Amino acid sequence: MTVDLHAPQMQEYFSIPFDNLSSLISLINYIQKNHLEILQDLVIISPDLGGGKRTEYLAKRLQERGVKTELAFGYKTREEKDKIAKTIIIGDVEGKNCLIVDDIIDTGNTLIKTAEALKEKGAKKIFAYGTHGLFADGLEKFKVFDKILVGDTIKPPEVGSIEVVSLVKLFGEAIYRTAMGQSLSVLFQEDKMSQDSLENYEI
């Protein structure tokens, strides 16, 4: 049982039952409980075109809760291999809150380039979420963000500017449902479950 695989195709290599959970419902619950201001005039950003499905999924889940959002994408240009020359933002972000969503924060270079491009286009506040927070090059360069949220799949740095979105209840509910032979689909699609039930799970 995993969460937010960088390459979902990886599941094809296993001959045992394999579930790739999504942490985005847990993210939504956390934001609605602790940071409603993020949801005002929100644009959800994918740092590259490959993350489009992730941002579309998050936007759909928010819409089911009555939160209207917009989508935008970062397009990376490169001067040489593994070195980003510039990030171009595709979408309207001027005067909007922007939440960049990714699966892994490693060195963070792509996120930072995306944030800098958002500032150039007039974004109001810039937030980031990464399921797996490695922060391989340290935290100093992340000051461009108003807030960074990370999952707890890896022990996060003990720094006040970073907030942890716990995935413990998500995994607990998934393990219970698997053990009881129940469907996991309700952990991914809210329209299959009443809002009251979802609030009880608080995944």
Q: Report the predicted TM-score, pTM, of the whole model to 2 decimal places.
A: 0.88
CATH 1.20.1260.10 fits 19-166, yes or no: no
CA distance 34 to 141: 25
CA distance 36 to 11: 35
Q: How far is CA 108 from the centre of its chain?
A: 14
The yes-or-no answer on residue 81 being catalytic is no
The per-residue pLDDT for range 132-144, each reduced to its tens digit, is 999 999 898 999 9
* Spans of all domains in the chain: 19-166
**Selected catalytic residue, list 33, 60, 68, 76:** 76
The per-residue pLDDT for range 35-92, each reduced to its tens digit, is 999 999 999 999 988 889 999 999 999 999 999 999 999 988 766 665 666 899 999 9
- For 166, the 3-state DSSP assignment is coil
Task: Give the type of residue at 194.
Answer: S
The strand order across the sheet containing 162-165 reads 83-90, 70-80, 42-46, 97-105, 125-133, 147-151, 162-165
